[in-house]
Amino acid sequence: MTPDPRTPETPETPETPDHQAPDYDRAEKTIDSEIDPGVRAVVVAVLVMLLLLTLALPHTGSVSGFDVLSGNDAALADAIALPSRVFVWFVTVFAVVASVLALVTRIWALAWIALAGSAIASVFGMLSIWSRQTLPADSTASGPGIGLVIGWILVVALTFQWLKAVWNKTTAQLDAQERRRAASVEAEQNSRWAGPVLGRPTDRKP
């Protein structure tokens, strides 16, 4: 069917910067709020699994990490000090749970939480080993167990892995972020002036 020439065609309404800006903003926020650990994600996952295994190993004498975590009679009988309790809890909450959530969601904030918690756990792990090595001479408590020593080494390694992951943003992410900013500015200027962004008025087509 031939359209009536007398009927004026309705011009398409160009998208305004108000409609475009949120898209760019959301894309930028997504890039800024996510991490891309790459192959390092496999290393972190392996370290988390090994940390879980160390909780089943003796942390002192016959007391396992799970005994320290629950604070049962076995842990009380071996005079588990506060640094050991804090270390095990920080390993469970931050080095394990927060790390798994950060790997699954790739949220930047969760990676920072896992990093901070793992760093604090590293300090308390060192204090835990020191406290088990400096027992009174008349104490019948045991020294540091293999689970405590290996767990401390693993949480230190995990801390360095998260430190690299949160600071090392890939070049592709930064380039994409810059392209989105440039496209947003160009679209806003073109829509505002309805013509070339730079140039004399005579350069515009009638």
- Report the alpha-carbon angle 36-38-44, nearest 5: 100
Among positive and negative, which fits the CA dihedral 63, 68, 70, 75?
A: positive
C-alpha distances (whole Å) from 33 to each of 40, 61, 160, 174 are 18, 44, 20, 13
More confident residue, 112 or 197: 112
Given a cut of 60, whether residue 14 has pLDDT beyond it is no
Where residue 139 falls (left for φ over 0; alpha for ψ -120 to 50; beta otherwise) is beta
Instruction: Give the tens place of pLDDT for each residue, 129-159.
Output: 998 888 777 676 788 899 999 999 999 999 9
